[in-house]
């Protein structure tokens, strides 16, 4: 195989992925105006349903525009030897391979982020604002961007530097060391993300004493779930949309409730949402996802080790001198179909786990408040209640609202 053939394969993967994605989006859009099933007719009144349809259509058109721009930018960058230009620029600043790679990815990621800021800004301050969701100030918006860049530079740059150092030091066995360091990082982040990362963006406060905390504690005790750390996060700082999540293990185990969730739901509904999250913990879903993620990472690094030294990878992107970082980009593009397949499998497991967590909440608490909470959350986020089945299969990590309600009513 020649480098030109490999380039054509890379371009074909990018374009075919775009086409499939747009076909799925189009199929999904055709169902925006479907009549609601009987089980969901109480979610929206006629005026609210029109608003949700308009919201879906607006996001569909915006997504079509932004993804087309991204496709043109990516293909154009490849065909115009953009990777070679950035690589040459990085090499004018240093001869050290690790620093060259860090500068290279720094330029690529920073430029990409800056170019897409107008789209992100429009999404936040025009679309989300128009439909009453946005609570983000312009100051918070740009501070979030800067914090994200700094985190990527420190964490991502540090891990990348270690991986390249392992590659240069250990040769073909680098993947084992790279897998090890990423595994340690993944476990650490699962343990301490809420304590170390979340406070950089949001304020977390312990749930105050009172009726809600008492109900949560009573439920937790009834199912043998030791829970001392219940936090409220100021989600309303950025959006009116609500959420809740479980994180950490052992002494770092905690439940985090968005303040918007507390405002939108009554106490029994909040406990039912918590019961669902406890179900994930009790059914070992969090451990399964963590272990699976680690195994998939190891598999990816192993496949990477088989191809990373092949000069064709760098040449396919227009860089004659073989470089780890250029080959890494080419490998990532070539590997994306496998990532899509593993993503489909993980989404299937995730939807299955959601049913199991719902069943746990139904059996240890009650189904009715979970059903009403799901309906309220869907209404308040103007969710699509009639998605196309193919779109659900590819993109949804959760069953549809209708599927979850039918399961809860069994």
Residue positions annotated with a catalytic role: 277, 358
Q: How far is CA 77 from CA 9, 61, 86, 120, in A?
A: 16, 24, 11, 21
- φ, ψ for residue 209 (rounded to 5)? -60, 145
Q: Which residue blocks in 223-323 are alpha helix, DSSP H? A: 259-264, 267-282, 285-307, 311-316
Residues 6 or more apart whose CB falls under 8 angstroms from that of 37 comprise 386, 402
> What is the distance of C-alpha 171 from the center of its chain?
32
**Beta-sheet strands, E only, within 116-229:** 204-206
- Residue with tokens 């209708």, as numbered in its chain: 402
CA angle 373, 378, 379 (to 5 degrees): 100
Contact call for residues 360 and 282 (beta carbons, < 8 A): yes
Calpha distance 358→362 (Å, rounded): 6
- Residue with tokens 């746990």, as numbered in its chain: 360
Contact call for residues 275 and 370 (beta carbons, < 8 A): yes
Calpha distance 410→408 (Å, rounded): 6
Residues 6 or more apart whose CB falls under 8 angstroms from that of 198 comprise 204, 233, 256
Residue 228 DSSP SS3: coil
Token pair recorded at residue 32: 């925006």
- φ, ψ for residue 199 (rounded to 5)? -60, -20
Contact call for residues 64 and 25 (beta carbons, < 8 A): yes
């Amino acid at each position: 195989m020649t480098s030109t053939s490999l380039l054509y394969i890379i371009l074909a993967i990018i374009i075919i992925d775009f086409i499939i994605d747009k076909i799925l989006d189009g199929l999904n859009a055709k169902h925006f105006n479907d009549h609601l099933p009987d089980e969901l007719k109480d979610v929206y009144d006629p005026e609210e349903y029109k608003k949700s349809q308009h919201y879906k259509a607006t996001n569909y058109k915006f997504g079509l525009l932004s993804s087309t721009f991204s496709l043109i930018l990516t293909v154009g960058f490849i065909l115009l030897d953009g990777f070679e230009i950035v690589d040459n620029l990085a090499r004018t600043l240093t001869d050290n391979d690790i620093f060259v790679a860090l500068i290279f990815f720094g330029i690529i990621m920073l430029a990409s982020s800056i170019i897409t800021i107008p789209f992100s800004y429009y999404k936040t301050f025009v679309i989300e604002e128009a439909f009453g969701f946005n609570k983000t100030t312009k100051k918070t918006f740009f501070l979030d961007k800067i914090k994200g860049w700094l985190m990527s530079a420190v964490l991502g740059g540090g891990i990348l530097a270690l991986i390249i150092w392992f590659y240069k030091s250990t040769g073909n066995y680098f993947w084992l060391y790279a897998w090890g360091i990423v595994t340690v990082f993944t476990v650490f982040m699962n343990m301490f993300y809420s304590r170390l990362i979340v406070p950089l963006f949001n304020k977390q406060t312990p749930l105050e004493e009172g009726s809600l905390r008492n109900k949560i504690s009573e439920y937790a005790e009834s199912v043998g779930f030791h829970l001392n750390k219940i936090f409220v996060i100021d989600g309303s700082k950025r959006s009116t949309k609500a959420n809740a999540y479980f994180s950490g293990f052992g002494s770092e185990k905690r439940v985090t409730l968005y303040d918007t969730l507390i405002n939108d739901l009554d106490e029994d509904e909040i406990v039912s949402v918590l019961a669902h999250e406890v179900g994930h913990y009790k059914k070992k879903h969090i451990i399964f996802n963590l272990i699976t993620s680690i195994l998939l990472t190891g598999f990816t690094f192993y496949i990477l080790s088989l191809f990373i030294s092949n000069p064709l990878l760098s040449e396919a992107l227009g860089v004659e001198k073989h470089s780890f970082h250029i080959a890494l980009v080419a490998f990532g593009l070539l590997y994306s179909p496998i990532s899509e397949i593993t993503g489909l499998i993980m989404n299937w497991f995730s939807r299955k786990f959601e049913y199991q967590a719902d069943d746990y909440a139904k059996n240890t608490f009650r189904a009715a408040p979970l059903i009403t909470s799901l309906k309220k959350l869907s209404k308040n986020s103007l969710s699509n209640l009639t998605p196309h089945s193919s779109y659900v299969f590819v993109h949804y990590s959760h069953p549809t609202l209708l599927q979850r309600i039918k399961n809860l009513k069994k």
